[in-house]
Amino acid sequence: MTDTNQPTLNLPNAQKPWTSTEFAYLKANAGKGVQEIAEALGRTTESVKQMARRNRISLRKTGERRGLLLGQPRGMSWLDLRQQGITSERLAAIKQDALEGLIDLGDLEQQIADIGKGKQPELCPQCATRYIQRASTGLCAPCHLKILARLHQDQVDIRNAERSLWAARQENSRNRRKEPSEEV
């Protein structure tokens, strides 16, 4: 016997909530492409794209090279960058820095656009491998942060030395008070 007052939930696939199993499948098979994943899960391609976008999952098929890389200006290839003096080692260093979060991708995009326009940014005088990113110090971000860390550590060392000095002074003062006074 069914209750006729109970509303039934007949949502189309695009409006059904994602299960953890479906999400795990999406993550594990992201390299297969949107169409194949949508068919396997019984969902629309828009639903799959939306879930991937929300969770920052790339749906680019394995081996596919479409799209701009790191903000590459349109109409310019990486070969043009190499002619501007950017070596493959430098590109590998940029990629590694981006993966480690050491550089801001917006700054990198601007630098690449400047190189494409013929402007050559200056290298950091500290490491000579990255471009200057902090105008206040004229250094790249990692070198800038390393120097800040060193300065802060110096402040900590100074405070610790001051504490030691005051402790020694207090100890000296206590010792002088404990000594019997000599009267002549």
pLDDT in tens, 23-41: 999 999 988 888 999 999 9
Q: How high does pLDDT run on average in the chain?
A: 77
Q: How many CB atoms lie within 10 A of CB 84?
A: 16
Can you give the residue ranges of every domain in the chain? 15-54
Stated pTM of the model: 0.35
More confident residue, 139 or 159: 159
More confident residue, 79 or 154: 154
Q: What does the alpha-carbon distance between residue 158 and residue 152 come to, in Å, rounded to a whole number?
A: 10
More confident residue, 169 or 10: 169
The predicted pLDDT at position 143 comes to 87
Q: Tell me if 141 sits within 8 A of 134, measured CB to CB.
A: yes
The predicted pLDDT at position 14 comes to 45
* 90-141 pLDDT per residue, tens: 777 777 777 777 777 777 777 666 666 666 667 788 887 777 877 788 888 8
The predicted pLDDT at position 58 comes to 84
Q: What does the alpha-carbon distance between residue 54 and residue 25 come to, in Å, rounded to a whole number?
A: 15
- Least confident range from 49-53, 114-118, 145-149: namely 114-118
SS (H, E, C) 78-127: HHHHHHCCCCHHHHHHHHHHHHHCCCCHHHHHHHHHHHHCCCCCCECCCC
- Please tell me what DSSP assigns to residue 179: S
Q: What does the alpha-carbon distance between residue 10 and residue 84 come to, in Å, rounded to a whole number?
A: 59
